[in-house]
Amino acid sequence: MIEIEVKVRAEHTRIRPFLEMIGAEKVKVEEQSDTYFAAPYRDFAKTDEALRIRTLDGKSILTYKGPKLDTVSKSRKEFETFVEEENSVQILHALGFSEAGAVRKVREVFRAEEITVCLDSVEGLGEFLEVEIVARDESELEASRARLFEFLGRLGLGEADSIRTSYLEMVLENQTH
Q: Does 72 bind a copy of itself (CB under 8 A)?
A: no
CB 75 within 8 A of CB 69: yes
Cα–Cα distances (Å) from 17 to 14, 25, 175, in that order, read 7, 13, 34
Selection from 2, 19, 14 nearest residue 151 by Cα: 19
> How does DSSP classify residue 45?
H
CB of 101 to a copy of itself, least distance (A): 18
DSSP string, 77-123: EEEEEEE-HHHHHHHHHHTT-EEEEEEEEEEEEEEETTEEEEEEEET
Catalytic residue positions? 36
Residue 40 interacting with a copy of itself (CB under 8 A): yes
Is residue 46 part of the contact set for a copy of itself (CB under 8 A)?
A: no
- Residues 42-64: b if buried by 16+ CB within 10 A, e if exposed: eebeeeebbbbbbeeeeebbbbe
Whichever of 18 and 64 has its CB closer to a copy of itself, that residue is: 64
Q: What is the CA radius of gyration of the chain?
A: 16
Which of 11, 25, 84, 99 binds a copy of itself (CB under 8 A)? It is 84
Q: State which residue, 2 or 83, has the beta carbon closest to a copy of itself.
A: 83
Decide: is 21 part of the binding site for a copy of itself (CB under 8 A): no
User: Looking only at residues 88 through 147 of this chain, which bind a copy of itself when binding is defined by CB under 8 A?
Assistant: 88, 90-91, 94-96
Work out how close the CB of 88 gets to a copy of itself at its nearest, in angstroms, rounded to a whole number: 5
Q: Is there binding between residue 41 and a copy of itself (CB under 8 A)?
A: yes
# binding residues, a copy of itself (CB under 8 A) = 24
Q: Is 80 in the site for a copy of itself (CB under 8 A)?
A: yes
Smallest separation, CB 91 to a copy of itself (Å): 4
Residues making contact with a copy of itself (CB under 8 A): 39-42, 49, 51, 62-64, 66, 77, 79-84, 87-88, 90-91, 94-96
